Amino acid sequence: MFGFTINGRKFSQVVPVSDCISTGLDFDGLDYQSRTWPDGSNRHPQPLAMIGPFSRGAPYPAIQFETDVGGYERLCHIPSGTNCQAPPLGARFYPYWMLDDLARVAAIHPVRHLCAWSFGTAVRGVTVASFGGDRQYGKPDHRRFVGTLASRIQPNRAIHGTCALGAKS
Protein backbone atom coordinates (compact mmCIF):
# COMPACT_ATOMS: atom_id res chain seq x y z
CA MET A 1 0.00 0.00 0.00
CA PHE A 2 1.23 3.48 -0.76
CA GLY A 3 -0.04 6.96 -0.09
CA PHE A 4 -0.07 10.10 -2.19
CA THR A 5 -1.49 13.61 -2.10
CA ILE A 6 -3.35 15.32 -4.94
CA ASN A 7 -4.53 18.92 -4.59
CA GLY A 8 -4.00 18.73 -0.83
CA ARG A 9 -6.15 15.60 -0.38
CA LYS A 10 -4.51 12.38 0.89
CA PHE A 11 -5.19 9.05 -0.82
CA SER A 12 -3.93 5.52 -0.37
CA GLN A 13 -3.91 2.63 -2.79
CA VAL A 14 -3.05 -1.07 -2.66
CA VAL A 15 -1.05 -2.16 -5.70
CA PRO A 16 -0.75 -5.91 -6.30
CA VAL A 17 2.53 -6.82 -7.99
CA SER A 18 3.30 -9.84 -10.13
CA ASP A 19 6.60 -11.16 -11.40
CA CYS A 20 7.00 -10.59 -15.15
CA ILE A 21 10.74 -10.87 -15.60
CA SER A 22 12.36 -13.44 -17.85
CA THR A 23 16.02 -14.16 -18.49
CA GLY A 24 15.74 -15.45 -22.07
CA LEU A 25 16.84 -13.40 -25.05
CA ASP A 26 14.47 -15.02 -27.54
CA PHE A 27 11.58 -12.73 -26.55
CA ASP A 28 9.00 -15.52 -26.22
CA GLY A 29 8.63 -15.44 -22.42
CA LEU A 30 5.61 -14.30 -20.43
CA ASP A 31 6.68 -10.66 -20.43
CA TYR A 32 6.32 -10.61 -24.24
CA GLN A 33 2.71 -11.81 -24.27
CA SER A 34 -0.03 -9.23 -23.86
CA ARG A 35 -2.21 -11.63 -21.83
CA THR A 36 0.18 -11.33 -18.87
CA TRP A 37 -0.09 -7.53 -18.53
CA PRO A 38 -2.84 -5.52 -16.78
CA ASP A 39 -5.93 -5.44 -18.99
CA GLY A 40 -8.66 -4.08 -16.71
CA SER A 41 -9.88 -7.54 -15.67
CA ASN A 42 -9.83 -9.10 -12.20
CA ARG A 43 -7.38 -11.75 -13.49
CA HIS A 44 -4.46 -9.29 -13.59
CA PRO A 45 -3.14 -6.52 -11.36
CA GLN A 46 -4.07 -2.96 -12.26
CA PRO A 47 -1.52 -0.90 -14.20
CA LEU A 48 1.09 0.99 -12.22
CA ALA A 49 0.08 4.66 -12.36
CA MET A 50 2.67 7.42 -12.03
CA ILE A 51 2.26 11.16 -12.04
CA GLY A 52 5.24 12.96 -13.50
CA PRO A 53 8.03 13.15 -14.49
CA PHE A 54 8.99 16.36 -12.75
CA SER A 55 12.04 18.58 -12.59
CA ARG A 56 12.24 21.04 -9.70
CA GLY A 57 8.52 20.59 -9.06
CA ALA A 58 7.41 21.31 -12.64
CA PRO A 59 6.38 18.67 -15.18
CA TYR A 60 8.63 18.18 -18.19
CA PRO A 61 7.20 20.10 -21.16
CA ALA A 62 8.33 17.47 -23.68
CA ILE A 63 8.64 13.68 -23.82
CA GLN A 64 10.46 11.09 -25.88
CA PHE A 65 9.95 7.32 -25.81
CA GLU A 66 13.03 5.11 -25.91
CA THR A 67 13.94 1.45 -25.57
CA ASP A 68 17.20 -0.41 -26.01
CA VAL A 69 15.48 -3.65 -27.05
CA GLY A 70 17.15 -3.51 -30.48
CA GLY A 71 20.55 -4.03 -28.84
CA TYR A 72 19.33 -7.37 -27.48
CA GLU A 73 17.74 -8.62 -30.68
CA ARG A 74 20.14 -11.19 -32.10
CA LEU A 75 19.16 -10.35 -35.70
CA CYS A 76 19.38 -6.57 -35.26
CA HIS A 77 21.86 -5.20 -37.81
CA ILE A 78 23.16 -2.18 -35.93
CA PRO A 79 24.66 -0.19 -38.86
CA SER A 80 21.50 -0.32 -41.00
CA GLY A 81 18.83 -0.69 -38.32
CA THR A 82 17.36 -3.74 -40.08
CA ASN A 83 15.43 -6.01 -37.66
CA CYS A 84 15.94 -3.51 -34.82
CA GLN A 85 12.33 -3.10 -33.77
CA ALA A 86 9.69 -3.18 -31.08
CA PRO A 87 8.30 -5.69 -30.60
CA PRO A 88 11.51 -7.60 -31.23
CA LEU A 89 11.49 -10.59 -33.59
CA GLY A 90 10.00 -13.56 -31.76
CA ALA A 91 7.86 -11.45 -29.44
CA ARG A 92 4.09 -11.31 -29.71
CA PHE A 93 3.96 -8.13 -27.63
CA TYR A 94 6.20 -5.38 -26.29
CA PRO A 95 4.98 -3.15 -23.42
CA TYR A 96 4.54 0.57 -24.01
CA TRP A 97 3.77 3.81 -22.20
CA MET A 98 0.26 5.26 -21.99
CA LEU A 99 -1.66 8.08 -20.38
CA ASP A 100 -4.54 6.97 -18.20
CA ASP A 101 -7.30 8.94 -16.53
CA LEU A 102 -6.23 8.62 -12.88
CA ALA A 103 -9.81 9.07 -11.67
CA ARG A 104 -10.67 5.81 -13.43
CA VAL A 105 -7.47 3.97 -12.43
CA ALA A 106 -7.67 4.69 -8.73
CA ALA A 107 -11.45 5.17 -8.47
CA ILE A 108 -10.84 8.65 -7.08
CA HIS A 109 -14.16 10.35 -7.63
CA PRO A 110 -13.29 14.01 -6.82
CA VAL A 111 -10.27 14.11 -9.16
CA ARG A 112 -11.34 14.47 -12.78
CA HIS A 113 -9.14 13.90 -15.81
CA LEU A 114 -5.82 13.96 -14.00
CA CYS A 115 -3.30 12.20 -16.23
CA ALA A 116 -1.23 9.32 -14.96
CA TRP A 117 1.47 7.47 -16.89
CA SER A 118 1.21 3.70 -17.00
CA PHE A 119 3.24 0.96 -18.65
CA GLY A 120 2.10 -2.26 -20.29
CA THR A 121 -0.94 -2.47 -22.52
CA ALA A 122 -3.98 -0.23 -23.00
CA VAL A 123 -6.96 -0.78 -20.71
CA ARG A 124 -10.37 -0.02 -22.24
CA GLY A 125 -12.15 2.81 -20.47
CA VAL A 126 -8.98 3.89 -18.61
CA THR A 127 -6.28 4.54 -21.23
CA VAL A 128 -6.75 7.85 -23.00
CA ALA A 129 -3.57 7.86 -25.12
CA SER A 130 -1.34 4.95 -26.15
CA PHE A 131 0.94 6.92 -28.48
CA GLY A 132 0.77 4.21 -31.14
CA GLY A 133 1.41 1.31 -28.76
CA ASP A 134 4.76 -0.36 -29.37
CA ARG A 135 5.25 1.83 -32.46
CA GLN A 136 5.81 4.75 -30.05
CA TYR A 137 9.49 3.80 -29.77
CA GLY A 138 10.19 4.94 -33.30
CA LYS A 139 13.22 4.08 -35.35
CA PRO A 140 16.80 3.10 -34.49
CA ASP A 141 18.77 6.00 -33.03
CA HIS A 142 22.39 5.06 -32.38
CA ARG A 143 23.52 8.41 -31.00
CA ARG A 144 22.99 7.26 -27.40
CA PHE A 145 23.42 3.50 -27.33
CA VAL A 146 23.71 0.87 -30.04
CA GLY A 147 20.30 -0.72 -30.53
CA THR A 148 18.27 2.17 -29.11
CA LEU A 149 14.89 2.93 -30.65
CA ALA A 150 13.70 6.48 -30.04
CA SER A 151 10.62 8.51 -30.92
CA ARG A 152 10.61 12.12 -31.93
CA ILE A 153 10.48 14.67 -29.11
CA GLN A 154 6.86 15.74 -28.57
CA PRO A 155 4.79 17.88 -26.19
CA ASN A 156 3.97 16.23 -22.87
CA ARG A 157 0.22 15.62 -23.19
CA ALA A 158 -0.04 15.00 -19.46
CA ILE A 159 0.30 18.75 -18.90
CA HIS A 160 -1.42 20.08 -22.00
CA GLY A 161 -5.04 19.41 -20.99
CA THR A 162 -5.57 16.35 -23.21
CA CYS A 163 -6.17 13.70 -20.58
CA ALA A 164 -9.88 13.25 -21.15
CA LEU A 165 -11.40 10.02 -22.41
CA GLY A 166 -11.77 10.18 -26.15
CA ALA A 167 -8.61 12.26 -26.62
CA LYS A 168 -6.73 11.25 -29.75
CA SER A 169 -4.13 8.52 -29.10
65 belongs to a structural domain:
yes
30 belongs to a structural domain:
yes
pLDDT of residue 151: 93
pLDDT of residue 141: 82
pLDDT of residue 66: 92
In the chain, the number of structural domains is 1
Amino acid letter, 146: V
166 belongs to a structural domain:
no
Q: From CA 90, how far away is CA 121, in angstroms rounded?
A: 18
pLDDT at 166 over 50: no
Q: Are 153 and 63 in contact (CB under 8 A)?
A: yes
Q: From CA 83, how far away is CA 70, in angstroms rounded?
A: 8
110 belongs to a structural domain:
yes
Supply the DSSP string of the chain, one letter for each residue. Answer: -EEEEETTEEEEE-----------SSS-SGGGSGGGS--SSTTSPPPP-B---EETTEE-SEE--EE-GGGG-TT-BTTTTBT--SSPTT-S---EEEEEEHHHHTT-TT--S-EEEEEES--TTTEEE-TTGGGGG-EE-TTTSTT-EE---EE-GGGTT--STT---
Q: Which of 4-13, 42-51, 92-101, 137-146 has the highest mean pLDDT?
A: 92-101
130 belongs to a structural domain:
yes
Amino acid letter, 28: D
169 belongs to a structural domain:
no
102 belongs to a structural domain:
yes
pLDDT at 32 over 70: yes
167 belongs to a structural domain:
no
Q: Which domain holds residue 87?
A: 2-16+24-159
Q: Which of 57-61, 121-125, 129-133, 153-157 has the highest mean pLDDT?
A: 129-133
